[in-house]
Amino acid sequence: MADAAGAPILEVDGLVVRYGSYTAVDGLSLSVGRGEIFGLLGPNGAGKTSTLSAIEGLLNPAAGAVKVVGHVATSEPLAVRALIGVQLQASSFQAELTLTEILRLYSGLYGLTLSTNELSQRLRRAGLADEAGKRYKQTSGGQQQRFSLLVAMLHDPPLLLLDEPTSGLDPQARRQLWSQIERARGEGGSILLTTHSMEEASAVCDRVAIIDHGTLVALGTPAELVDQHRTDPRVLRAAHGEVTLEDVFIGLTGDEIRD
Amino acid sequence: MTDVTLLKPPPVGLAMRTLLRADATVLLRNRQALLLSIVLPVAMLFITGAGSGRRQVLDPGYLIGLAITYGLMASGLFGYPMAVARDRESGVFQRMRVTPVPMWTVSVSRIVVQLVLSLIMSLVVLGLGGVRHHLTFGLSNWLLVLVISLLGAAVFLAIGQAIVGLTTTSGQVNAFSRVLFALLLVVGLVGSSGLLGTTFKTIAGWTPVGGLSNLFSAATGSVAWGSDQVIGLVASVGYAVVFGFIGVQWFRWTVR
């Protein structure tokens, strides 16, 4: 899907990522357009994190290319990271700093010089005004996720990469987080997210890609994927009644547990 | 959404200023690091100088140098690598790696903050040591002590960097640092005192603690500059270079 000017925000073309003899991503191609919410779905070990790392310019692919707004991730990693906001699943912030101080730190790292007033406004918009003087570990799981997303969105990037953003959140916290994500999309941002919740992917993603063993096994809108695979015997075996995106996912990637 | 043409990596100066501010705040709020780096060297100064006024076993300049060396060692072997290991484990570095700043700025900022703390500690210990032992230091003594403190801080930060580079968890760093700390302190202290003979004293002069103590003794004017100080200088530079190389070469920003 392309943006209004015809160029996608993110282009992944024939991406191959290897760790020694193990191939984590094997010829993956996809693109994300402006204002699109794109879901990258796959069981554990399918290659989602390796794909995100390649987009973030943190590893050198064995083959293929990743471009963000025309910048190549391998040759211009800093330029690419200036264009993306990242919320990682397993990351943290300095335990000794307050939320305001962390926000000030990351503002500087993204080239912004925000006043204390502006920092307070950002925290207020994310519903974290009362936590401004607290340390990160003193906040609840939902507040940590919202704060992490706030840091990712500090510089209003055209592309947000969200790694299981609602994992472990209660319904209220999930709802609040999604309103933050929808606001980012409403302002023209594109979002690439990973999630294990097929219900969530169906509800919020414009398009999804299902990957397994590093390769793309399905790509389209959630409704298209359900329609395309409605009669697939593997999907029918997984279905209990009306076929859902989760049935398609299980049907295409198998039902064995991955670690 | 911001115009994408305006989204560029920040100037290095802005990134460094921001990192230095944050790292200084983190250090000032870390009571354990401050205790190890400043309070304990001062305490050591007064404990080892307890014989003052009667017959002292060791030279006052040597004792002051030893207290400074102890502070540098505590900061370099415990404060710095433990903070790095902890931030690596908890994912702080993982988050910083996806920002548009080169990661060397993150390292440099932390090292600069540690160096400043080491210099402050050295000035405090030298000043209080002078009072404790009724010594007056000239400007050259102060300057020489600062220069050697920088060298000593570089030695122990390089060793700390090597430790954190060769280990993966903060528990391993803690265990490794404790053993090394005790070993260096005992070898340097006992060896340099000459209590175990001249051969052991010569060997101790090549250790980080022994070499730096000899340099501090001369810098405070307690002994003349001589071959022991040349050995101390050569050994210290060597340690800083070798361990710094190991620490940079083997260091990983994430352990996952």
Compute mean pLDDT per 10 residues along chain A, 259 residues long, and list them: 66 96 96 95 92 93 96 94 91 92 97 94 94 94 90 94 87 84 87 92 94 95 95 90 93 78
Do A41 and A124 lie in a common domain?
A: yes
Shortest Cα distance from A249 to chain B (angstroms)? 27
Low-confidence ranges of chain B (pLDDT < 70): 1-2, 49-58, 256
Residue B168 lies in a domain: yes
Do A225 and A145 lie in a common domain?
A: no
Shortest Cα distance from A129 to chain B (angstroms)? 21
- Structural domain range at position B196: 10-250
Residue A64 lies in a domain: yes
The pLDDT of residue A17: 97
Residue A259 lies in a domain: no
Residue B255 lies in a domain: no
The pLDDT of residue B19: 98
Contact B100 A95 (CB under 8 A): no
The pLDDT of residue A98: 97
Contact B14 A111 (CB under 8 A): yes
The pLDDT of residue B56: 56
The type of residue at A11 is E
Q: Please report the ipTM that was assigned to this predicted complex.
A: 0.89
- Structural domain range at position A179: 10-220
Residue A5 lies in a domain: no
Q: How far apart are CA B189 and CA A258, in angstroms?
A: 56
Residue A180 lies in a domain: yes
Residue A170 lies in a domain: yes
Query: Measured between beta carbons, which residues in chain B are less than 8 angstroms from residue A82?
Result: 7-9, 100
* 3 state SS of B46: helix
Q: Considering its fold, how many domains does chain A have in total?
A: 2
The pLDDT of residue B256: 61
- Enter the tokens of residue B162: 């090597």
Rg (CA), chain A: 19
Contact B4 A69 (CB under 8 A): yes
Do A245 and A188 lie in a common domain?
A: no
Residue B2 lies in a domain: no
Do A186 and A250 lie in a common domain?
A: no
The pLDDT of residue B3: 73
**CB count in 10 Å sphere of residue A44:** 10
Q: Considering its fold, how many domains does chain B have in total?
A: 1
Residue B5 lies in a domain: no
The pLDDT of residue B186: 86
Q: What is the DSSP string of chain A?
A: ---TTS--SEEEEEEEEEETTEEEEEEEEEEE-TT-EEEEE--TTSSHHHHHHHHTT-S--SEEEEEETTEETTT-HHHHHHHEEEE-SS----TTSBHHHHHHHHHHHTT----HHHHHHHHHHTT-GGGTTSBGGGS-HHHHHHHHHHHHTTT--SEEEEESTTTT--HHHHHHHHHHHHHHHHTT-EEEEE-S-HHHHHHH-SEEEEEETTEEEEEE-HHHHHHHHTT-HHHHHH-SSS--HHHHHHHHH-SS---
Residue B229 lies in a domain: yes
Residue B147 lies in a domain: yes
The pLDDT of residue B50: 59
Do A104 and A153 lie in a common domain?
A: yes
Do A78 and A152 lie in a common domain?
A: yes
Q: How far apart are CA A171 and CA A143, in angstroms?
A: 13
Nearest by CB: A82 against B9, B17, B91 = B9
Q: Assess B8–A contact: CB distance below 8 Å, yes or no.
A: yes
Residue A2 lies in a domain: no
Do A205 and A247 lie in a common domain?
A: no
Do A127 and A196 lie in a common domain?
A: yes
Do A126 and A167 lie in a common domain?
A: yes
**CB count in 10 Å sphere of residue B94:** 22
Query: Measured between beta carbons, which residues in chain A are less than 8 angstroms from residue B95?
Result: 86, 88, 91-93, 151
Residue A4 lies in a domain: no
Do A227 and A213 lie in a common domain?
A: no
Do A178 and A215 lie in a common domain?
A: yes
Shortest Cα distance from B19 to chain A (angstroms)? 7
Q: Assess A101–B contact: CB distance below 8 Å, yes or no.
A: yes
Q: Assess B12–A contact: CB distance below 8 Å, yes or no.
A: no
Residue B4 lies in a domain: no
The pLDDT of residue A230: 92
Residue B256 lies in a domain: no
Shortest Cα distance from A90 to chain B (angstroms)? 6
Q: Assess A95–B contact: CB distance below 8 Å, yes or no.
A: yes
Total residues belonging to chain B:
256
Do A108 and A143 lie in a common domain?
A: yes
Q: What is the pLDDT of residues A213-232, one digit of tens each?
A: 999 999 999 999 999 999 99
Query: Measured between beta carbons, which residues in chain B are less than 8 angstroms from residue A94?
Result: 22, 26, 87, 92
Q: Assess A213–B contact: CB distance below 8 Å, yes or no.
A: no
pTM for this one? 0.90
The pLDDT of residue B1: 62
The enclosing domain of A34 has a CATH number of 3.40.50.300
Q: How far apart are CA A21 and CA B212, in angstroms?
A: 48
Q: What's the number of CA atoms in the CB half-sphere (13 Å) around residue B139?
A: 0
